[in-house]
Structure 1
Amino acid sequence: MKDKPTYTIDRLTSLIKKRVLILLLVMGVASAAIIVVNYYSIRMLSGTRAYINGESEYSKGQKDASAYLINYIYFGNEHDYKLFERAISIPKGNYIARLALTSANLNVELAKIGFLKGKNNPKDADEMIWLFKNFKNLAMFEKAIGIWKAGDTMVDELDRIGIQAHVKIKNGKLSEDDKKAMILATNDNSAKMTLKEEAFSQTLGNISRKVNVFVFVTNVLITLVIVFTSLSSAAIMIRRLDNSKKKIMEQNDNLQVINAGLDKFVFNVTHDLRSPLAALSGLIDLIDEETDPKQIKAYRLMMRDSLEKQDRFINEMLTFIKSKHIGVSKTECNLTTIVDNVITQNNSYNGGKGVKFYKELELTQVLTDALKLQVILNNLVSNSVKYSDPNKPERWVKVKTYRSDTHMIIEVEDNGLGIRPKDQERIFDKFYMSGENKKSSGIGLYLVKDAVTQLNGKIEVYSEPGISSKFKVSIPFC
């Protein structure tokens, strides 16, 4: 009888030990699961980040290649063609990487060579290859690969245009019609590529967000298991998981902000470079027709001035993107100087030669962000010139400034083609182009709206098709 209590205690002790072992096993498995999930999620986010950064280089290379190719077609300068070849080698490098990764016999070394040619960091190249190998069959990643493939087809098309132009220029067979067709094809290709590049980034961004959600849900479930098995261990793990989750979310948010800034910078530069390029083309036409050496010299000085202004604009845009997080930078601005610069630039534009510019500047000195003000005016005046009505005996653009009690008012009015009522609500949307519009990339008025919004202002449009258009910008003084 004395042995019975001892037997019972031994059984109870053995049962407790078994339960402890089970709890320890559950905690071990839960901990291992957390490690595995976070390891793969962080690597996946790192790979996604690398692809987003790579897309920025891809986009920049493609847009630079388009700009150099247009210069080459315009001027026939062999140096521009060399720059075109160098720029397009970046997206072509990524093209090589994709083919190597999707081939029947996966060629990792060739893929790495391609990514390095695409200006990706060597460490990022390893992450990109790892992500592709392990998640290429994931539905959303398959979608991104499909967009990538479509973009590579457009890169091929751009390269083909470049080779065709090079052959014709070398043989002296490039006609004016050829120039127009090739430039139109290049601009159309660039616009389509921009859509593909944005879609690629958005798809990868969606993947990142889904990974974040997956990580969050998985971590919560595992944490509940750990809480059930051991409250003390669970408290420690929750803190660690919370810190890890915050770091991942902060990293992802930072990457999104950086990518959005770079993307917007590319859109701004691509859009605003087209006007001075067209102005330079117009001045070259004038030089071709001019015989007076003094007048030719004056035109050359105007060309140099246009290039210097554009160089300053690009530097300002770089500063603008870098200081985006600081907000609006207000300084004392001379509206007369800004308006005169905008008119001078657009007066040299091909379509602006026959347009008369009028100024009614009641308000000349304001405290605001000069760069944003220049973006607003330049895009509005440029649009008025682009869409002037060639059938009217007089084409004009009027810039007017005045003040209300609390706002400065800027109006840009023209007697151009006008805007259809159904288009007026959407003209400020990114990439929106009304009807058969081939003159615009659909980004100018989007940039205007964005700049006005950052200045806490509002913009209104009044237009009658075939008669006139007027844009009214109201910006508060404080």
Structure 2
Amino acid sequence: MNSSVMMKFNVIKGKLILFMILILTASVTILTINYYSLKINASIRAYINGESLYAKGQKDATYYLSKYLYFSDSSYISQYQKAISIPVGDKMARVILENDGDEQLVRKYFIQGNNHPEDIDNMIWLFKNFNEVGFFQEILKIWIEADSNIEELSGLADDIFSQTEGGKLANKDEKKFYQGKLSSLNTELSSEQYKFSATLAEVGRKVEKYLLYFNFIVIIIILFSTLVVIYFILKRLDNQNRKLKIINHELDKFVYSTSHDLRAPISSLKGLVYLACREKDPENLKTYFKLMTESLERQDNFISEIIDLSRNKRIEVSLSVFKPGPLIDQVIENHQFMQNAKKISFKKKIEISQLKMDKSRFMIIVNNLVSNAIKYHDSRKLNKFIRIELKRQEGKIHLEISDNGIGIKPEHKEKIFEMFFVTQNKSKGSGLGLYIVSDVLGKIGGIVKLESEWEKGSKFIIQWPDFE
């Protein structure tokens, strides 16, 4: 009987493993194909956008050259040069890519061509990986022809500029001749630009069509496989979910009860220590009580951090509008009791008068970063400072807290946001502060970046969405 049950179990287990491997393989395949298909389409769109900028630059250059031809106003020269630099930038990028040149130069010239910086990686990737493929060869041929006409346009411009400056281009016939050449070049370039965009667009449509067919087939396979095992998965998930709810409830109760039970005697002991220090006892007794106070304060801070962490896990984000400046002042004031805090100069640059944010989480972020900066100040420096900046930038809220403290060693930078990680003297902190900051930011869709140099100082750059 036991043998039969074991065999059935092994059969079910084997089927589950087989189905999961099938689903995983299909998922990885479709994700890979989708990734590269989307990358190809994004690259194609970048080139189409680049072509429109190329065309606009060429047409503007032709326009300003025509204006200069008839009016001889030198202001049109700079406008022409600015416009022609766009297609020239794309041309130089192409030439360097064809010769497998420096990518930094390619970036420089693509940016000169007014291409968006975030599109350039995709443009370089498509060129390097598909320059031998048929569709790209056709596009490249059109591009080279257009660049040849741009060179001709530049040569014509040099001729016009030199003659008008020498006073040679005076009669209408000569002006008509140059205007005719400009018009002819403009027509040729417009035709080539249309072919370039049309070819790219057709490739994009084909990629999307093939991707649709492939996705449909793979999704059918995944759905069929999933239906076979879904009953077992749902049943197991239901059991696990019930267990997790119980565990979470017990964990919340444990954190709350433990913190409450510990903080009550801590408060009493701190009061007794304070009174004892005022008594006329020997100096060693005062020192002993002082150490007790410091120990209790660290324990109190540790419990507060656990509570912050627990609340962040349990409580949903609650947005409200408040003035951040007074809250930051309150945090600074609350930390004046810390050792050597009064020797540190606080510099503030608050550019936001009202902020929509989860107020308690905002306080947690500022409180932990200010506390951390004070703990790890550099006592050897005379002009110790902590700088706090709050501003809006590119649709996000930026909070920067920097100092000239002891900094963070390079080998510690990757671990600094891990739970319970402490870089220097463990007595200075629990190792939870920066972990809590990172955890809070994760809850509101924010990020934190670190810039630090050992013995020079640190800067924490925090960003989160502007909820206004």
Q: TM-score range by the shorter chain?
A: 0.3 to 0.5
TM-score normalised to structure 1 length = 0.46
